[in-house]
Amino acid sequence: MRTSSLVIMVLASACALSGHAETYKEKSQRLTASPKELTIHVVDEDGKPLAGARGDSISFNPKNGRHGGDDWVADLNGRFICKDPPYFFTTDMRVSLSNSEAAAGWKSYDVTITQFDFLRFEEPKLALKVTLPYVRKPIPLKAKQEGFSHRRVNGPKDTEPADPRLPDLAITEVGYDAELLELMPPLGQGKHTDFTIKIISVFRGFEDANLERRAVVDVNRGLDTLDEGKVRYGNWTHSVTYRFPNKGDGIILSPQFWPYCKLMMPHKAPEDGYSPEFTLKEEVRQVYKLTNLSNYRDEMKNNGMFLRIRTQLDKDGNVASAHYAKIVSPLVTPLSAGNVFKILYNPTPNDRNLEYDLKTNLRWQELHPLSKEPPPWSYDVDSN
């Protein structure tokens, strides 16, 4: 259950971003004392309203620590309004299919939104549109949470030399074997470069003199180098670029991404529209940032890309054969971006289905051929 301190933190952040003349205390008092309305508009992947979709809410009163909640049913337009009395906030909402669809055997990747991510009450009324994807045809895939080192800069107390195999502080470029789900040597055991990942990190300066002073103090105390201080206290622009050398191969940013449910991207990779190069960027500032459903894709982790690889073209340049994969949620780490991500690969040629069944990891089976029952992935890794 949620605590009053977290609700107050959200209120403080909302007040800071609102731009009103109200003080934090005035706004928090007004917002807390107001009745709340949370409108949820539920649609399927094609944007069709899901009449009868169910919502299960949890609310919290930061004034006295009491909890509440209720069940809600969407109208014919796929909307329901979750109402809270004064001093209560909806802190958690789970959305699932209608009772009739569930009784008919339909399944969905249920939506979960909380005050930790997208429930940001800046005013008493909040409206959110969410996509509730159906379960269609989950299949086994090769799957891996990938990560690689991206630095060779030593700290002041390091006794070992920097790893000469790794690029410098600002730029990293590695090759990747998508079929084996392996980095290319010397960082991995890959055998064929399907694409390269190039990371560029540009230091934009310090947010203010106080942060710069903290970086200098750490250097003077022998705790950090100046480069480390820039990483810890500075503002950066990170970019990750994917390049595909084989003709016909490429990448495309998924037009839809649903970070609030297990299936984060559409079930199938597109048939065409792939580019041999694509770049994602994220600006990192040393200030508290609120993420909501209007700006969530500004964060690199809230994006996914479809890949077409090992493409063979006929004499007219049409795709005769190809494999499809997806990269989900590349992360910005303290120094750079995109060096940690999830990749899922369909080993069946010309099959664009990338709806992972969450239970059968073909790569795990390849590495453990004598094991009959591979363990399911953890929650951090098994998102579709």
The residue type of 336 is S
- Please report the pLDDT score of residue 2 as a whole number: 43
User: For 158-186, what is the mean pLDDT?
Assistant: 74
Residue 9 and residue 11: Cα distance in Å, rounded? 5
Residue 112 and residue 59: Cα distance in Å, rounded? 14
- Please report the pLDDT score of residue 350 as a whole number: 97
pLDDT in tens, 267-307: 999 999 999 999 999 988 888 777 788 888 989 999 999 99
pLDDT in tens, 340-351: 999 999 999 999
68-77, 151-160, 234-243, 302-311, range with the lowest pLDDT: 151-160
Q: Does the structure show a pLDDT above 60 at 14? A: no
Cβ pair 17, 122 in contact under 8 A: yes
Cβ pair 300, 338 in contact under 8 A: yes
Residue carrying structure tokens 């600002």: 170
- Please report the pLDDT score of residue 5 as a whole number: 45
CA distance from start to end of the chain = 27
Instruction: Between 335 and 362, name the one with better pLDDT.
Output: 362
Cβ pair 38, 81 in contact under 8 A: yes
The mean pLDDT value of the chain amounts to 86
pLDDT in tens, 181-240: 999 988 889 999 999 999 888 889 999 999 999 999 998 998 877 877 888 899 988 899
Residue 230 and residue 200: Cα distance in Å, rounded? 15
**Is 4-131 in CATH node 2.60.40?**
yes
Beta strand 36-43 with 125-131 is parallel
- Please report the pLDDT score of residue 291 as a whole number: 77
Please give the share of the chain, as a percent, with pLDDT higher than 70: 85
- Please report the pLDDT score of residue 157 as a whole number: 62
pLDDT in tens, 103-122: 999 999 999 999 888 888 88
- Please report the pLDDT score of residue 369 as a whole number: 80
pTM of this prediction?
0.84
Instruction: Between 66 and 169, name the one with better pLDDT.
Output: 66
Question: 44 phi and psi, to 5 degrees?
Answer: -90, -175
Range from 114-118, 119-123, 169-173, 244-248 that averages highest in pLDDT: 244-248
Q: Where are the domains of the chain?
A: 4-131, 139-367
Residue 174 and residue 332: Cα distance in Å, rounded? 17
DSSP 251-280: EEE-S---TTSS--S-SB--SS--BSEEEE
